[in-house]
Structure 1
């Protein structure tokens, strides 16, 4: 049965208690640091925030681990929550994650956050503040500042974390990473990355309002974002990825998957600058088509600096004809392309890489790797028996880099010079207003 409490039942003291850094009395497993392995029979009691769509998939996957006990379910949509509860009838149910932590922090060991992007950081930080390991869907956060703070707190507390880029655990991407770092095409000078998806909106602001469905706690869905009327088919379960207040567009969302392997394999850090080619900003949605250029400092696997270019929507795939590829090569809808000193490498989305030299394809022998389950890897890390491949220490910087491009979308044609240490655009002060947002009263969280 859905917990009948609503946000109005939570007083200010309860909310502050829920968000405080040291409110929970940590059980041995709550700290879940890899150095202290759990007993073989011990269960990991999980709380799941967001259980519809991708959240439902995350819930189902985590629950397949034999040592997971689904203890709490949370979703602002009571219909979605009821459906998830049917598969996990012993789990307590909530519509407000703040209430979940206020009431149940001592009875859960780890947290899975699978909400729209704008709620990732506050929900994940609340989990970290209570010393809970966190699995958080990609992109890690909605703003650069949030990504930095989640990484720092997770590292300070030494908690097992995982950003939900499941493909990072795939044999194809792990194998490609090994090949690139092994020098299969020598040092890399340029990377082209693209997705045909259009998770943008070039239309006008939404007018009017519709009746809020009885199942939807609209105020909770808005969460940290500014208040606005409910519109059917626009926000909840629909276009939120496309809208600047809630999602991060194709670059921030799908870009995490496609950009993961190049960023990881080349061991990149923070970009030096970013520049976008797209339509003028509307204040409503992300661009429907987009080209974003970055320059990264060089690493052991690149030339002195690395040029990185992203394309999405109708701007993808890019024109790569200048690289002397086979005439009959058809580029995939989503892929990464590496330009090296000793050839080029095409890495389709979740597929084996293809190498080209002097206009001909060269066979690639893939490393033989163990199949890994991204979700189970995090559970095992919480139990002290493994390490995660995409912890917040990795996912935070990757998210920061991509979100700098999302910020650049609001200043098309302008080069944003980036000081990563200060989290500051040094040549365009107006851009710095987009690095960190103000949370709506009542949804503030310590650390953010």
Structure 2
């Protein structure tokens, strides 16, 4: 038996592990089929063969990281203790240097396609933490190879990419997790339990947002400057499926979030954190309408960058026993209004949400409803908290790893939760680019009922006039548009056919 293979014995759920002859499969086979046949297998408990605090061989997963500077460094560190980090990939040697140094036994790569070609048989799971515009190409490449995927938020750069990833995750029966880590916090569970308990009655309005300004507007005049590509950066691979453009330091290392070709602005960067609690508690689903109001922004001359602030209004229809809900999103220079129930010495909510019900108000911070409380404090003190009914999890990465090992669904999986949540953020991005127009959204058909132009924005990969005519529902889209969520390409030139020789 090779070092990277371990025996995992097939058992019925009620059986204990017994030392007798029976059919065996490799650890590799187990991990690959865990999602489809969880009840058939039992991983060796850590106390049986490894002692306290050490993972036995059959529990250790071989994990690769794509994009390992910034958030990726933290993600890799979070899963490294009881698993094997076997490969690391990043196009920026300078930004990712510390991560490569920390894991000297991991095979280094610049191009994730080469990583998958060479190590497809050695990898169980992949963490994707690239800039937004490359999330889909990397995640899809992993999923189609049967690898479990953890992807930083937002899941993708377009609604079309989200739908394709949701579909692929179902088809390939892999365990997925969106990187909105607050979804595994205690506070988001408390918030849901309070809402379901009727702590503030029927929720009708939400004011949510983030004070961060993710905008490239101030840097637009500087784009005419010429800068050499740093020797530690592979610019062509960094661009990935995006349209070719010359390198400029205004895009890196993290400011790409403020540029339409690469990021999703503040709404795309923070919705998956801030809206997550109400999305879960109220089972919001898809909005019926979306409209953005933007000041001091001209899409014709500034459309390459996101504005410094916007207010986006989503209208969610009645669902089940709850009535309609209106969500107002505030980005950057636009701030969440102060609720009337807030006490005089209390601070305004700058990043988080104010949730209004017909019997009261709840406020919370950004990740996982941090600092959640009923206001004013007197009502919080008088509130008799309900029993805890939602299962608690240790940590977000842990939740994903346990789901892989147990063949269960992670809390923010692509297909049923993380994808639909990301879609709300990306619909907001489209609303910004269609500012002033109230868009009517048909989630089932994945189209806007009243705007052909908005429909063309459902897939950022449609540059110019592709054969599919920009229609996101076209069967020709994958092959004709340059959003490369088809991993069959093998050369950087495929990513950037317009790049100079």
Is the TM value for this pair above 0.5? yes
Residue pairs, 1:216-255, within 5 angstroms: 216-232=233-249, 234-255=250-271
Query: Of the two structures, which has the highest relative contact order with CA contacts closer than 8 Å and spacing of 6 or more?
Result: 1
Q: Helix, strand or coil: the match of 1:73?
A: strand
Q: Report the 3-state secondary structure (helix = DSSP H, G, I; strand = E; otherwise coil) of the residue aligned with 2:121.
A: helix
Give the C-alpha shift of residue 91 in structure 1: 1.2
Q: Are 1:362 and 2:380 matched, yes or no?
A: yes
Q: Are residue 290 (structure 1) and residue 310 (structure 2) matched? A: yes
Task: Note the aligned Cα RMSD (angstroms).
Answer: 2.3
What pairs with 1:101-120 in structure 2 (closer than 5 Å)? Answer: 101-120=116-135
Matched ranges for 1:400-415 at <5 A: 400-415=423-438
Matching residue of 1:388: 410
Displacement of 1:38: 5.8
2:145 match: 130
Asked whether the 8 Å contact 1:202–1:286 carries over to 2, the reply is yes
**3-state SS in 2 of match to 1:167:** helix
1:94 to 2:109 alignment: yes
Larger radius of gyration: 2
1:363-406: CA deviation from partner (whole Å, max 9, x where unpaired): 25476674521001111111126541111120101111111111
CA contact (8 A) 1:30 1:110 kept: no
Confirm or deny: 8 A CA contact 1:32 1:133 kept in the other structure: no
Question: What do residues 217-272 of structure 1 show as CA deviations (whole Å, max 9, x unaligned)?
Answer: 1100000001111112x123131001001011111101211111011110111110
Instruction: Determine helix, strand or coil for the equivalent of 1:253.
Output: helix
1:280 has 2:306 as partner = no
| Corresponding residue number in structure 1 for 2:349 | 332
State which of 259, 263, 275 in structure 1 corresponds to 2:275: 259
CA contact (8 A) 1:181 1:301 kept: no
| 8 Å contact from structure 2 (residues 287, 317) kept in 1 | yes
Q: Are the structure 2 counterparts of residues 244 and 445 from structure 1 closer, same or farther at C-alpha, using a change threshold of 3 Å?
A: same
Which deviates further from its counterpart, 335-344 or 402-411?
Answer: 335-344
Q: After superposition, where does 1:406-425 map in structure 2 within 5 Å?
A: 406-425=429-448
Greater mean alpha carbon deviation, residues 415-424 or residues 339-348: 339-348
What is the TM-score normalised by the length of structure 1? 0.87
Match of 2:326 in 1: 307
Question: Aligned partners of 2:213 and 2:375: how far apart in 1?
Answer: 29
Indicate the larger mover: 338-347 or 402-411: 338-347
Q: Does 1:446 align with 2:450?
A: no
Q: How big is the shift at 1:28?
A: 3.3
Residues 445 and 310 (structure 1 numbering): CA distance in 2 closer, same or farther, change over 3 Å?
closer
Confirm or deny that 1:373 pairs with 2:375.
no
Q: TM-score, normalised by structure 2?
A: 0.78
Q: Deviations over 1:429-448 (max 9, x none)?
A: 11111101327988723399
- Judging changes above 3 Å, is the alpha-carbon distance between structure 1 residues 94 and 32 closer, same or farther for their aligned structure 2 residues? farther
Task: Indicate if the aligned counterparts of 1:186 and 1:301 stay in contact, CA closer than 8 A.
Answer: no
Distance 1:386 1:35 in 2: 10
Structure 1 residues 82, 331: closer, same or farther in 2, change over 3 A?
A: closer
- Superposition pairs of residues 331-350 of structure 1, within 5 angstroms: 331-349=348-366, 350=369
Output the CA distance in 1 between the equivalents of 2:225 and 2:233: 18
Deviation at 1:112, TM superposition (A): 0.5
What is the aligned length? 416
Where does the alignment leave 5 or more consecutive residues of structure 1 unmatched? Answer: 1-25
Q: 1:434 aligns with which of 430, 449, 457?
A: 457
CA deviation digits over 1:7-45, x for unaligned, max 9? xxxxxxxxxxxxxxxxxxx84312431643463332210
Given that 1:140 and 1:399 are in contact with CA atoms closer than 8 Å, whether structure 2 keeps it comes out as yes
